[in-house]
Structure 1
Amino acid sequence: MQSDRHARTGADAASSDPITGRLLDGRYRVGPRIARGGMASVYEATDIRLDRVVAVKVMHPGLGDDDEFAARFVREARAAARLSHPNVVAVYDQGDEDGTVFLAMELIPGHTLRDVIRKESPMTPAKALAFLEPVLSALAAAHRAGLIHRDIKPENVLIADDGRVKVADFGLAKAVSADTQHTATGGVLIGTVSYLAPELVVDGRADARADVYAAGVVLYELLTGTKPHEGESPIQVAYKHVHEDVPPPSAKAPDIPAYVDALVARATARDRGLRPADAAVLLHQVHRVSSALADGVREDPELTADLAPFLLHPDSGELVATEEGGRGDTAADPFDAVEMAALLAPSAPREHTTALERVAAPPRPPVSTRPPAGPARPSRSPRPARPRRSRRGPILLVLALLVAAAAGVGAWWFGYARYTSTPSVIGLGQAAAEKKIEATGLTADLGETAYSETVPAGKVIDTNPDPGERILDDGTVTVVVSLGKERYDVPKVAGMTEDQAQDELLGAHLSFGTSIGRWSEKVPEGTVIGSSPKAGQTLRPDAAVDLVISKGPKPITVRDFTDKPADTATEKLEAKGLVVEVAEESYSDTIDEGNVISQSPSSGTLHRGDTVRIVVSKGPELVEVPGGLVASGVEAAKSKLEALGFVVDVKESDAYIGLGYVYKVDPGSGSMAPRGSTITLYLV
C-alpha cells in the first residue's frame, strides 16, 4: 500500500514539475527529479549531444533573479571544474535559459552517506574512517587548489554502486585569496546548520578549517549514529556549535579508543587555531589512527596526547593546560536571536547600504568691508536676514529613505520572509509528522521508507530538508519513515546446488561466506546439506552465511585379507560398512581350510554399502589311494596314481631283487591322501 502511494506521489510530482520534460540549452532532456535541497533540485537528464546520462542541478525558481546568488551558483561550475580528482563529482557544463540557471554534472548511480548512516550507524571506528578517507582526499585536493567546500555533510557524499565515494555540491565553494577572506554572502550564512563551524556562525569567515570541522562532525555521526548538536531550531543548533564542544563519541559508544575521541576533538575544536590546517593534515592524522586500529591497538597515550587539541597529563590523560594562546572562545562576542536569524537566512540577496549624500547648506552672501556711503543712520538693531530654505535636501532624503526601505523590504521578502524553518518531526509517527508539517503551511510527502538500527518501525528517521533548514513557505518536506531494524531470515537451501544456494542468499540480502565440505551417505556430491547459521535464523543484512556441501559418501580403503581367516576378514570389512559376500568355498593345496583364497576387490577404495566378495579355502582335496597296486608293474601303478593327481616317488625296498614290481605302497591302498601329495612305491 505504501509503495503504491509512493509511486502515485512520485508520478504526480513528476507530472507537476515544470522542469521535467524540458530541453535545456537545446541539449539536456530533463527527466525525473532525484534530489531536492534548499537552493536547487537535481534531475536525471540525457545529454542528447553526447548521448549520455547526466545529472542536472537547477536553481529554485526566484533565486535566479538575484544576480549575486546566480553568480555564486555559476561559480560552482568553475570551482568544481578546476578539480580533477577521482573522489570529486565532475562538472560538465553550466547554462542559463530564460532565468533557469543549471549545472550539468556527472551522474552517480547509488546512494548517499546519509543512507549508510541510517542503515549501519553506529559503526566501528575502522569502518567510519574508511568512509571518511576518500572525502578527506577530495577536500585535500580542493584545499590545494585554493577552494573550500563550505557545505560538507552526508547528503553531499555520494557512494556509487561500485563502491566509489564522490564529494558533490561545490556550489558553496569559494576561492581563497587574500582579498576574499570575508564571507562571500554579504553577511548571510550559507551551509547546513548541523555541520557549520563556529566561525561561520559568528562572523561568516571561512577557510579550509571550516571543512575540517564539518568532516569531524560527519565522523562523529558515523561513529554514533547521531549528530553532536540537536535543537528545535537552527538558531539553537548554531548556538551550540559556538558555545559547546562536540562530545566524545565514546560517551555513546564506550568501545571507541581514546585516540579516536582525540581525533574527533581535534577536528571539531571550536578554536579553529587548534584544528588541522586543512584536509591534508587531517587525512594524515586519520591514516595514523587507521594504522593503530588495524594493529589492534586499544590504548596509545602518545597518539592520544598528540591528537588531542589540549595538553594532557602523560600518566592520567587529564587536561593540565591549554596550548599557547589559550583555547580561545570563538563566541567571545555574544549575539542575540535576531542576529542569528539574520545569519541563518538562506541565500538572501546582499542588502547593500544606500549611500546618502550630505546636502550642503546654501552659500551665505559675502560681507562687505567698505564703510557705508552717506551719513550714518540712527543705531537700530537690524533684523537678521532669514535664510532661504532649500527644499532639495529633504526631498532627496525622503527619496533615499524610500529606496532604502524598498531595498530592505525586497531583501527581507526574497531572502527571509518567504522562507520558514523545516519543523523537527524525527521520532514521530507518520501521521503525527504529517500533521505537524502541514500545520506550518508546508506540504508533507512520503518518501521512500528506510531501515534504521535506532528508530522503531513507523517512526520518522529523516526529512528532506533536514530539521531546522530553511524552506519556502509553500515548500514540500519529504518524510522518510523507518522500517525498523533491517533483518533477514536465512533461507532454506538444503537440496540446492552450491550456485543456486549462493543466489538464494544474495536474494535474501545476505552474503555467502565459505563452503564447508561434509561426507554424506544420503546427499549426492555437490548438493547443499544445510547452512551455518541454520535456515530460519534472523541476521543483519549482508551477514555471511556458510554453506555445508556434500562430498558424497566417505571413501573406504580396502585391505587385502588373502590367506587370512575368513571370519576375521568378514568382521573387519563389515565394521567399515562394507558388505562381505562369500563367493564360494574351494579346495586349496596352499591355503589352509577356513582362510581366504582370494578377494575382490583386494585393494583401492569403496563406499559404505559396497560389496567385497571372498573365496574361502576348504583346504586340500583328499583322494583315495587306489587298490591293486601291489604286485603290479611299476609303470602301471605310477600312471594310475598320477592320473588321480598324486605325485609318485619310486624306491627300492629292502628285499629288492630287480623284478620291477610293486612290493609296497605308502600310504596304503584305501587310505585318503590330499590331491597332489606324494605316494611312495617300493619295488621288489
Structure 2
Amino acid sequence: MLSGRYRVDDLIGRGGMASVYRGQDLTLGRPVAIKILEADLAADSAFRTRFRLEAQSASRMSHPAIVRVYDAGEETRTDAAGQPHPEPYIVMELVTGHLLKDIISDGPVPLEDALRYTDGILEALEYSHRAGVVHRDIKPGNVMVTDAGQVKVMDFGIARAVSDSSSTVAETTAIIGTASYFSPEMAKGDPVDARADIYSAGIVLYELLTGQPPFRGENPIAVAYQHVSEAPVPPSELVDTVPRSLDALVLRALAKDPFQRPQTAVAFRDALAAATGRKAPSKRRVESLSNELYGPDPKQAAETARSLRQLTSDDTMRRTQSGPPVAWVWAGIAMLAVLLVSVFIWVNTLRPDEGTVTPNALTVPDVVTMTWDRAEQVIDKAKLVPQQIDETSADVPEGAVVRTDPVAGTTVAPGEQVTVYVSQGVEKAAVPALANLTVSEVTSSLEQAGLKLGSITRRNDPRLAADVVISGSVNGAAVTDGQEIPKGSAVDLVVATGTVTVEDFALNYTVDKAVEILESDQYNLDPVVQEDPSCPATDPRMVKVQSAIGEVPVGSEITLTTCSG
C-alpha cells in the first residue's frame, strides 16, 4: 500500500528509471498504473524535488492523447539494516494496449498507420506545448497505442527532472535510455524548447517509415555526435514505398538548426496532412534540400576538421616526412579539377524545374495573415496566378491567409499558380444534450459531435442516480445544449455520485424536525418513524437512534427511532 490509498499489484514492466505496477485506487475505486522510481534516483534529494514539481505540472494536463498523471507522492522504506530510504512514485492512468516500440520492432509499419501514430504524438505535443510543458524524451518507448488504436504519450515532465539533475550527456542518457531520439541541442547540452520535441517526433516518424532510427552507434556518445554533425539518409532510399514528399518533411523535421524545423506541432501536423497529397519532389530536389539543411557532406567535413585539428595540435604524432608525397599533391589537384569541371557541367545542364535560376524568374510574395482580397492583389501584381482554398484553422483568424504553396520566397516562373489557403476560423461543433444522461451516453454523444470528454467532477445531488450528468463546462465556462464551441474541445462534466451526506439527528432533533429535513430537497430521502417502548417517552418526541449516517444512496429509507414507553 502507498499512502494508505494505492494498492500495488502485479509488475507490468521495468525500465532504467522505474518499475511500473498495476494498482488500485481504493478511494475512488479505479484501476491505476503506479510507477515507483529506482533507489539510485530516489537517493538524490534534488531529483526528488524536481520530480515532484514536474509531476505536479504534468498532472494538470488532461487530453485524450496524453496518459493522465493522477497523483505523486513519496513513501519511506526501511531496509534490512534499519536505514530509511525514500521511494518516490507517481500514479497514472492505466492504459491497455502496446508500446509503439514493440510495434516498430516488427519492421516498418504501413504508411497510413505511421502517419496516424505520428499525428497522435503531435496532437499530444500541441496540447502540452500550449500548456508550457516540453516532453524532452519523445520516443517509441514512451508512446502507447491502445487496443482501439488511440495514441497515448506518457512520462511528461520526467525527462526534465532527470536532465536538470544530470551533468553530462552520458549520465543523462544512462538514466533516460537511448540517445537515438536526442535533438542536437540536447546532445550539446544547450537550452531546449518545444522544437526539441519536434525533432524527436521526426525521428519517430523516420523509424515508423523505415523500421530503424536515422542514427545508430555503439554508445550514446557516438549517436549524439551523429545528431550534431551527420545528415540522415532520406527514408525513401531505405524503403522504396515511402513517398518522396515525406522525405522532404522528415529532412525538415531533422534539421540541425531548430529554426529550420517546423516551429510548432500544429505546423508539423499540417505539413504531415498535406505531404501525402502533394506532388512528389524529384530526387534531385530532395538532395538539394538535404544539402541546404545539412551541408553537402557534413560527415566528410567533420572528419576533415578532426584530421586537421589532430595534425595541428597533437604533439604525440611523429611525422615521417616533411610534407605529403608529390604524387599525392598532383592527385589532389587532378581530383579538384575534375570536380570543378563536373560541377560546371551539372549546373549548365540543369532543367529549369530542378532549381536553376531562369530568366524572368519571380519570387512568391509573403501574404500570410493578409485577407484574401489583399493577397489576391499582391500575387496578381507579382505576375502570378492565385487560387483560393478554404481550410479551418485554430490559430489564424477567419478570412486571413494561413499559408501558400509554394511558400513565400520560392523562385517560380511567371504565370505559375500559387495556392492560397484561407482560414475559415475554428471549426465549430454543437454541444449535445448533457443533463440527466449517463456518462457513457454523453461520451458517445460528444464523440459523434466531434468533441472530447474532459475531466469529471463528482457531486452529491439528491435527485440523480450515480453517473448521471448534472452539467458541463469548457475551460471553466458553463455550456448549454446546442451551443457552438470549437470542434475537438474537451467538455468537463459534473456527475452525480448517487449519494447524499446525512447528518446525525439523534439526541439533538425532534422527530418532526428530522422528518421535515430528510424529506426536503436537501436530502430527498424516505424517513420512517419507529417507536421504542423500552425507554420513557419525551415531549416533544426526540430522535433516539438513526439507521444511517454519512453517505447513503439517494432515495434511501432512513429509520428514526423514538422512545414511547
Kindly name which structure, 1 or 2, has the bigger radius of gyration based on alpha carbons: 1
TMscore range, shorter length: 0.3 to 0.5
Structure showing the higher helix proportion among its residues: 2
TM-score for the superposition, normalised by structure 1: 0.39
